[in-house]
């Protein structure tokens, strides 16, 4: 098998899938075993005195250093370990990002179709992510899922449909009388627009 082939195939499997593919537990465990095996080889090489030669350092003292052949072999082996680690971490991180995106798109409920694709750790991650964001929104009294698309304009013109009265905006108090049109920050009036008290005036 080619060097790091399992790890590379794991990422290609994720990239080729149009949706989240099933968590590949076998491949992840095989790569972890490869990493452990290579780490043991590195440990064995560095603990064998025959793999070292004496060389003078900058101060002129003789110190044991890896022989050229040993150094070359260590660089390759350590490079394989690092690449395998990066591939596994990229696989796990990308799947976590997909789960976060699914939460923002579909909400906190996990369908049975999605559940069978996840590892136990990913199920826990999804639920803890939901709890964290939900707690934050409850604390701030703000539903962040309503503000996923950045507004095009900071201020918008609105038509006052009901007797709203005085409201507190980021710029200070503002009186909203029925039938009037005012220019107001979008963030100050979005809830009133949803309640039907204001109407966004668009100009084409």
Query: Tokens 């590949």 correspond to what residue?
Result: 24
pLDDT, greater one: 88 or 164:
88
Do 10 and 95 have their domain in common? yes
Q: Above 90 in pLDDT, residue 3?
A: no
The pTM is what? 0.71
Query: Which residue in 159, 154, 151, 153 sits closest to 192, CA to CA?
Result: 159
- pLDDT of 69 reads 94
CATH for 91 = 1.20.58.1030
Q: Residue 80 pLDDT > 80, yes or no?
A: yes
Which of the pair, 156 or 29, is modelled with greater confidence? Answer: 29
Q: Identify the residue with better confidence: 140 or 204.
A: 140
pLDDT in tens, 124-136: 999 999 999 999 9
Mean residue pLDDT across the chain: 89
Q: Looking at the structure, do residues 94 and 159 belong to the same domain, yes or no?
A: no
Beta bridge partners of 52: 66
pLDDT digits (tens, 9 = 90+) for 145-184: 766 666 566 788 899 998 889 888 887 888 999 999 998 8
Whole-number Å distance between alpha carbons of 137 and 134: 5
Residue 135 lies in a domain: no
Going by C-alpha positions, the residue among 75, 91, 71, 83 that lies closest to residue 3 is 83
Q: Do the domain assignments include residue 180?
A: yes
Domain containing 174: what range?
155-201
**β-sheet bridge partners, residue 135:** none
Q: What is the pLDDT of residue 150?
A: 61
**Number of domains making up the chain:** 2
CATH number at residue 171: 3.40.5
Distances from the Cα of 136 to the Cαs of 2, 5, 142, 183, in angstroms? 47, 42, 8, 30
Least confident of 71-75, 80-84, 192-196: 192-196
pLDDT at 195 over 80: yes
Evaluate whether residue 165 is within a structural domain: yes
């Amino acid at each position: 098998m080619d060097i790091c082939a399992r790890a590379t195939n794991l990422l290609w499997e994720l990239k080729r899938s149009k949706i989240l593919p099933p968590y590949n537990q076998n491949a992840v465990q095989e790569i972890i075993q490869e990493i452990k095996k290579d780490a043991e080889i590195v440990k064995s090489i560095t603990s064998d005195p025959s793999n070292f030669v004496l060389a003078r350092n900058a101060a002129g003292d003789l110190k044991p250093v890896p022989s050229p052949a040993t150094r070359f072999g260590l660089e390759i082996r350590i490079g394989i370990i690092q690449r395998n680690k990066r591939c596994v971490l990229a696989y796990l991180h990308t799947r976590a990002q997909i789960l976060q995106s699914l939460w923002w798109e579909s909400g906190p409920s996990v369908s049975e179709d999605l559940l069978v694709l996840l590892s136990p750790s990913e199920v826990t991650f999804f639920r803890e992510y939901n709890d964290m964001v939900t707690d934050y929104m409850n604390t701030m009294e703000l539903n962040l899922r309503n503000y996923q698309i950045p507004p095009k304009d900071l201020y918008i013109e609105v038509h006052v449909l009901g007797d709203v009265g005085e409201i507190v905006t980021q710029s200070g108090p503002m009186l909203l009388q029925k039938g009037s049109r005012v220019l107001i920050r979008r963030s100050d009036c979005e809830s009133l627009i949803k309640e039907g008290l204001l109407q966004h005036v668009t100009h084409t």
